Amino acid sequence: MSYSINVTEKDVPTALQAAAAAMAEVVKGQPIHARDQKQALAALTQVLKLLQLQHDSQKVNASLNGSLGWVGNEVGNEQIVGATINVSVWLS
């Protein structure tokens, strides 16, 4: 299963909060992503720290995409056999 989250906010903390809320919704619809939620948000947090706003009119944009592959059908006991987390951030 995969997800794609895109946010545009006024600053880094607000962008991270919006992405975290969107990721929580992903987990509700695709419970397997509870397994990579923490890692995805940690990656986004670290990459967002790289941005340096030049003026107040700039917006923080973030794209968080990921997928998991697994074997097994018993919910909660799936064996993860593949994972992707991709983070992009930029100012506009």
Q: Which amino acid is at 68?
A: L
Per residue in 25-51, pLDDT (tens digit) is: 999 999 999 999 999 999 999 999 999
Confidence (pTM): 0.92
Q: What is the mean pLDDT of residues 13-20?
A: 97
Q: Name, in order, each residue with C-beta under 8 angstroms of 14's C-beta and a sequence gap of 6 or more.
A: 60
Query: In this predicted model, what pLDDT tens digit does every residue of 49-58 receive, in sequence order?
Result: 999 888 888 9
Report which secondary-structure segment, H or E, holds 81.
strand 79-91
